[in-house]
Amino acid sequence: MQFKVENMSIRKLLLAGIVISLMAISCTTISYVPQINLDISSKTILGSVQIEKFVDNSDIGDRKNPFLGLSVTNEEALANDLSVSVTNAIVSDFSNNAVFNRVSRRIESPDYTIKGEIKVFKGISRLTDYGTISFITIVGIYTWFLGMPIEKIETEIEIKLEIFDRNNMLIGTYVGNAVGFRRTSMYRNIALATPSQTNRDFSKAIEQIREQIIKDEDRFN
C-alpha cells in the first residue's frame, strides 16, 4: 500500500513538473524583429529605387499565441509594426548588399518604385498533435520523458514585390516564399529558436526575389 502511494506521488510530481515547464514556455517573452541575412548581390541594377511601405495582408490568426505556444508576430513579441519592420528590412538588404545603386524609403524622382505585399508571415511554436492530445487526456504524457517529439516550429513566409518605372509602368512582379518545420522533445526550449527560424525563411524568400530581379536586369534601363 505504501509503495502504491509513493508511486502515485512520484507520478503526480512528474506531471506537475511537465505542466510547470509548459506553462513557463507559454509565458516566455520574446522580442522579434524581422531581419534578412544574405550576401552581397551578384549584380547591381543601375538606378535609384524608392521602396514604399508594404501592405500587410497576412493572416491575423497567425499572430495569436497558440495553446501553450507563441507566435513571433504577436503584438507583445513584435518590436514594431510588421509592415514597417518588413519594409525596413528589405530596404536595408537591397541597399547594403547593392541590389540597386541607391535604395531608400523616400527619394526625389526615383528611377524605380517598389510596392510590396506581405501575403504570409508566420512563425509559431506549439505542441504537436501528439503533445496536445497526451497533455489534455494525460494518456501517454509520461512518454515525454523518453524524448518523444512533442513541440514543433511552423514557419511560412510569402512576399510579393512589384517594380514600376518612372512612368509608373509595371516592370515586373516578383514573389518569394519559404516554408519551415521542426519538431523536438521537451528537453529543448524550441520557442526560443522560433525568431531565428522565421528570419531564415524570410531571408530565403527575399533571396528568391533578388534572383528573379537579377534575371530581369535587361528590363531595367
**For residue 176, what are the domain limits?**
2-219
Q: Which amino acid is at 149?
A: P
Residue 194 DSSP SS3: helix
The CATH number given to whatever domain includes residue 23 is: 3.40.50.10610
Which positions ≥6 away from 13 have C-beta within 8 Å? none
The percent of the chain in helix, strand and coil, each rounded to the nearest 5, is: 40, 30, 30
Over the stretch 33-82, which tens digit does the pLDDT of each residue have?
A: 999 999 999 999 999 999 999 999 999 999 988 877 889 999 888 888 99
Cell representation of residue 113 = 518604385
Alpha helices (H) along 82-164:
82-96, 129-137
Distances (CA, A) of 163 to 18, 26, 94, 97, 172: 51, 41, 13, 18, 6
pLDDT of residue 3: 42
Q: List pLDDT tens digits, range 84-143.
A: 999 999 999 999 999 999 999 999 999 999 999 999 999 998 776 555 556 666 666 666
In the three-class reduction of DSSP (H, G, I as helix; E, B as strand; rest coil), residue 192 is classed as: helix
Helix (H) or strand (E) holding 158: strand 151-164
Q: Give the model's pLDDT for residue 39.
A: 96
